Amino acid sequence: MKTNAIRSLRRKLAADQPTFGLWVTLESPSITEMAVALGLDWVVIDAEHGHLDWKDIVEHLRATVRSETVALVRIAELNSGLIKRALDIGADGVVIPWIETAEQLKQAIAYSRYPLEGLRGIGAERATCWGQCFVEHTSEANEHVLVVPILETVRTVKQVPLMCQVEGSELFFFGPADFSSTAGARGQWEGPGVAESILQMKDTLRRAGKQCGVIAISHDNLLERRQQGFRMIGVGIDSGLLLRSLRASLNVVGRDQQIQASLTPESATKVAPLARPPESMRPDRPEVMNSVGTGPKVELARGVSFECLVGSHNQAKQLTTGIVTFAPGATLPYHNHTFSESITLLSGSAIVEVEGRSYSLKKLDNVVVPTGRVHAARNPSTTEPAVFHIALASDTPTRTLVEKFFPRRAMPDDSTGFPGAERVNRFATAKRFAAGPNTEFIDFFNADLIPGLEMSGGYGLFHPTGRLPAHVHDFDESICIISGQATCVVEGRRYSMRDGATALQPRGRVHYFINETQSTMEMLWVYAGPKPERIVVEERCATEEGNPWK
């Protein structure tokens, strides 16, 4: 145990100074040596996830000897044997995952201290200089050992005030990914509402005199976390930092690509871009950019208005999309169509019913209603409007009112629809994939997900610099920018889009989208074709000089 390093870390934290560290997951002790040489305040050696064994861990600990870098070991679970072993081989403290209650925190502290204050047994290992420093080590260990819980579940939120009262706890880490998973947003770093919950817990802990830590995911996020008041800030995970650097270098030479879950290089399965689109796809219409407020409007029912942004008025084929606004308390009565419909909640609250099955929607939840299914929608709020994005697989949409009575059956909040009928996409838990560098996409609907469907579409998130390759489609496409600012490039023509602006890309037009801002950008895209197929072409085809249709 390096008591001087622990005292130094505590002095910085007491002075409200940020401390910076590295999360270590790879086996080479040279990684920890580099962290020490760069003067990092702490490292966490991760023995919860990954493949590090005890021999690897002790070599990392040895790399911090006689330094001012505090070495913590993240164990796999709250377990007295794991805590004892990590401390016996020389860790300055332990990081313990999935701590949800004050009682669990008290247990962790007891396992980390010698009697009479705790339950830790005395071993003749590195911590006691192989039995030569029993008295010296045991006299100072209880005072200096760091016990750092990770708060990473929804259940933890209500327990934080009680944790603040636990003697022997001074540092707390947060795990955004696991917290998101328990909040129903599996696979996201900070799902809906998670960032707010973490900041709320952080503020509670800070008011109680505790310090909080988290791993940053980018340079900008590192500065953001410092400004938010986190004082144990991880500059990153060793593997993540290595990948970030590798991809930045590959990007310079045009070789950056996504890693796939199979660990197969994307290039191994990627089809080479075409030199130009097939001549058979020569477009017969120009692209059209449509701002909210400029499209034709129709009142569908009392308090329910539809603004058409893509449709017959701008020569779209087999596709209509737009924005529907429900006034507080408004209802659209039961009806059906001779084509399929997609309904995505943009803001407010909403209930969509399909033949009596009632679904309560959250923001960006999506309902797909196949041809002929009778459905209705209402805004349950008496004070706030509800706003939807809708897509219809027709350029001349009609609807038929249906007066049949359907017994109402409230479906579970996590219901994903009724087999063989409607599909409900829960945004928080939907499967995501990369459609281009720094993007996250969701397929809401297509003929593979719903056999017989005539259109396809979904959601796209573009991080800063996120973009798609230059491509064309064998059908028309609608793209609605629902947050942030997008740059749309069509054969050298550049358009800036935001605030619900919707692009009509006719069949055959070479185009791509890119996020050139420092904030995220979100879109909803709909194809007038049953499968989300795109034909990637060489980038020059999206330039004025290389326009293949000149």
180-188 LR contacts (CB < 8 Å, sep 24+): 182/152, 182/153, 182/154, 182/155, 183/154, 183/428, 184/414, 184/426, 184/428, 184/429, 185/428, 185/429, 186/429, 187/431, 187/432, 188/428, 188/432
Residue range of the domain that includes 399: 279-542
Rg (CA), the chain: 28
pLDDT tens figures, 392-419: 999 999 999 999 899 999 999 999 999 8
Residue 302 has pLDDT above 70, yes or no: yes
Residue 255 forms part of a structural domain: no
Question: What pLDDT was estimated at residue 186?
Answer: 83
Instruction: Specify the number of domains making up the chain.
Output: 2
- Tokens at residue 29, please? 């002790």
Residue 4's region, left for phi above 0, alpha for psi from -120 to 50, else beta, is alpha
| In the predicted structure, residue 259 carries a pLDDT above the cut 80 | no
Looking at the fold, whether 80 and 195 belong to one and the same domain comes out as: yes
Determine, yes or no, domain membership for 203: yes
User: Which residues are within 8 A (CB) of 420 and not within 5 positions of it... i.e. 6 or more apart?
Assistant: none
- Tell me, yes or no, whether 228 and 308 share the same domain: no
Both 427 and 484 in one domain: the answer is: yes
Instruction: State the pLDDT confidence band at 167, using cuts at 50, 70 and 90.
Output: very high
Q: What confidence score (pLDDT) does residue 251 get? A: 72
Our CA dihedral for 253, 255, 256, 260, rounded to 10 degrees, sits at -170
Write the CATH number for 518.
Answer: 2.60.120.10
Per-residue pLDDT at 328 exceeds 90: yes
The C-alpha atoms of residue 26 and residue 163 are separated, in whole angstroms, by 32
Residue that terminates a domain, selected from 190, 223, 242: 242
CATH number at residue 199: 3.20.20.60
262 pLDDT tier (thresholds 50, 70, 90): confident
| Among 504, 484, 459, residue whose Cα is nearest residue 308 | 504
Q: Give the C-alpha separation, 247 to 240, whole Å.
A: 10
Give pLDDT tens digits for 114-166.
999 999 999 999 999 999 999 999 999 999 999 999 999 999 999 999 999 99
Closest alpha carbon to 523 in 549, 493, 485: 485
Whether residue 302 sits in one domain with residue 219: no
525: CB partners within 8 A, 6+ apart? 457, 458, 459, 460, 477, 478, 479, 480
Does one domain contain both 71 and 142?
yes
Q: Which of 186, 214, 242 is the last residue of a domain?
A: 242
Q: Which amino acid is at 246?
A: L
Domain-ending residue, one of 242, 271, 299: 242
- Are 170 and 287 within one domain? no
- Amino acid (1-letter code) at residue 444: F
Report the percentage of the chain scoring pLDDT > 70. Answer: 98
Note the pLDDT of residue 192.
Answer: 81
Structure confidence at residue 365 (pLDDT): 97
Cα(457)–Cα(534) distance, integer angstroms = 12
Answer whether residue 248 is part of any domain: no
pTM: 0.60
The mean pLDDT of the chain is: 95
Residue 437 lies in a domain: yes
Query: Does a structural domain hold residue 521?
Result: yes
Identity of residue 401? L
Interatomic CA distance for residues 77 and 99, integer angstroms: 9
Which tens digit of pLDDT belongs to each residue from 351-379? Answer: 999 999 999 999 999 999 999 999 999 99
Report the C-alpha gap between 283 and 507 in whole angstroms.
6
Encoded tokens for 148: 């750092």
Given pLDDT bands bounded at 50, 70 and 90, which one contains residue 250?
A: confident
Report the 10 Å Cβ neighbour count for 164.
Answer: 17
CA-based nearest residue to 374, from 355, 360, 350, 358: 355
Q: Is 90 exceeded by the pLDDT of residue 258? A: no
Is the pLDDT confidence value at 266 over 70? no
Q: Are residues 145 and 202 located together in one domain of the fold?
A: yes
CB 486 within 8 A of CB 289: no
Flag whether 327 is in a domain: yes
Share of the chain above pLDDT 90, in %: 89
Both 343 and 229 in one domain: the answer is no
In sequence order, the 6+-apart residues with CB closer than 8 A to the CB of 81 are none
Within-domain flag for 260: no
Task: Please classify residue 87 by burial: count the beta carbons closer than 10 Å to its beta carbon, then call 0-12 exposed, 13-18 middle and 19+ buried.
Answer: buried
Enter the tokens of residue 46. Answer: 């991760």
Per-residue pLDDT tens for 455-473?
999 999 999 999 999 999 9
Mean pLDDT confidence for 23-32: 98
Question: For residue 314, what pLDDT is reported?
Answer: 96
Tell me the two tokens of residue 511: 């185009």
CA distance readout (Å), 473 to 116, 476, 478: 73, 7, 11
Residues 229, 292, single domain; the answer is no
Residue listed under structure tokens 């477009």: 283
- Based on the fold, state whether residues 295 and 348 are members of the same structural domain: yes
Kindly state whether residues 232 and 379 are assigned to the same domain: no
| Cross-strand bridge partners of residue 345 | 388
Any idea which residue has 């988290």 for tokens? 214
Does 264 map to a domain? no
Of the candidates 102, 112, 104, 107, the one whose C-alpha atom is nearest the C-alpha of residue 142 is 112
Q: Are 337 and 205 in a shared domain? A: no
| Calpha distance 250→484 (Å, rounded) | 27
Q: Is the pLDDT of residue 263 over 90?
A: no
Q: State residue 269 phi and psi, 5-degree precision.
A: -115, 0
